Structure 1
């Protein structure tokens, strides 16, 4: 592996990487992002992606990066002083490895069986975890509203742990329009509803809808759903975290489909 050392903040590659780390607009314009760490890089390669640039902090062992570089021999590799590398890292605990990578767009299957629909999820960790849950459950698509956090942000990618590479996503969707066009059943997870989620038949084409961490689902999206239901809870806790609620709902659907 041949690496190019770079030490200047004014280097065009460094400037480009910094924009990807900090700006959702830059990521959207380029359809590129930054992957932080060996795990995400391995998942990206396994999904068929080939990074544009590999970036190593000087203190990170080059030998650990060599197997990844061997899988993408055409990829440019650079090494940065630790201080400069730290300026690019978009997460609190950097691993020492970054990859500049194009968004992947896995094709949606012809038969949509299980969809997660997310309205205005703001926390990148929550969004990544929800996409990870959907992928783990075998969901066939995720539909994200215009108000959702950028699923390709470095923090959302860390939360997703590779889910974005394998789960078909529709971003910036008008959820009411999408739900009105969906031919299966849709269930909105809403606290104030009397319908018990566990009593529902969740077989067949299904969309599960989860809302914003604080405000929940909008009235318009609830109205467009086939029905609204709540997850029964014992004790004094009023609600589940949005990510936890989706996980409960998705895997209840999985449980019913295994019978």
Structure 2
């Protein structure tokens, strides 16, 4: 284990740049997993991180100490920082004081869309994207395709909202959704408040892909026209539409319900 106490330390400067700059994280293809839950999930589902970083006070926390011990047993590089230096890196308020530095997975889109998936058109809110990833993983979906203009899936806020779902999914950034729709070998359903057919009237027991759009503008018209079906989520209250993450969860778990019903 290495202790760093100076802000001028080259490794600390590198970590500070990664912690504070999305551009730096994208260029280095590195992500930060902040908090006990994400670190534990990574160790369990993926493997060894590139580095484990702790605050001095975190060494007294049994959960963080267990993670540190596991990393040391795996011969992972471990760094301890004074609380003041650590807090300048972390975006989590009142956190335990531990994060992993990991390699950001680089996944490419398949030539043919052939398995259940989620296609996301220009989602802007990190919380929405993280929630959708979490719901998709819970519903057994494995692939997620994010169009250009969608918030970076491996940003700290999306990672925290996803609660480890990233490690169960194949996430493709800057995906050409129009090309995927063109080659889709299964139905692609787009949600639209103007659709006549509801999700409860369509057969979801067979594999489908889902297309969700921008929080305010919805799915772009050119993509919407390429979807196999447009479906609506009926509601009784006097609201125009549901939040996109809530819509996705309703769709995914209606699909789960129908799938289980047909087994």
After TM superposition, the score normalised by the length of structure 1 is 0.92
How many residues align structurally? Answer: 257
The aligned runs of 1:46-65 (5 Å cut-off) are 46-62=44-60, 64=62, 65=64
SS at match of 1:172: coil
The alpha-carbon deviation at position 10 of structure 1 amounts to: 2.1
**Secondary structure of the corresponding residue to residue 237 of structure 1:** coil
Q: Name the structure 1 match of 2:86.
A: 85
Matching of residue 102 in structure 1 with residue 100 in structure 2: no
Task: Report what 1:71 is aligned to.
Answer: 70
Q: Distance in 2 between matches of 1:63 and 1:228?
A: 50
Q: Kindly tell me: are residues 93 and 225 of structure 1, through their superposed partners in 2, closer, same or farther at Cα, counting changes over 3 Å?
A: farther
CA deviation string 1:137-192 (max 9, x = no partner): 00021111111111111111100111111111121111111111111000001112
- How far apart are 1:126 and its partner, in Å? 1.2
**Distance in structure 1 (CA, Å) of the matches to 2:61 and 2:93:** 24
Structure 1 residue aligned with 2:223: 221
Structure 2 spans left out of the alignment, 5+ residues: none
Q: In structure 1, list runs of 5 or more residues that go unmatched.
A: none
- Where does 1:173-252 land on structure 2 (aligned, <5 Å)? 173-252=175-254
Distance 2:46 2:160 in 1: 18
Shift of 1:107: 10
**Alpha-carbon shift at residue 93 of structure 1 (Å):** 4.0
Quick check: 101-110 or 175-184, which moved more?
A: 101-110
Which whole-Å deviations, capped at 9, do the CAs of 1:224-259 have from their partners, x for residues lacking one? 111111100102111111100000001111111112
Given the superposition, is the C-alpha separation of residues 107 and 147 from structure 1 closer, same or farther in structure 2, using an over 3 Å criterion? closer
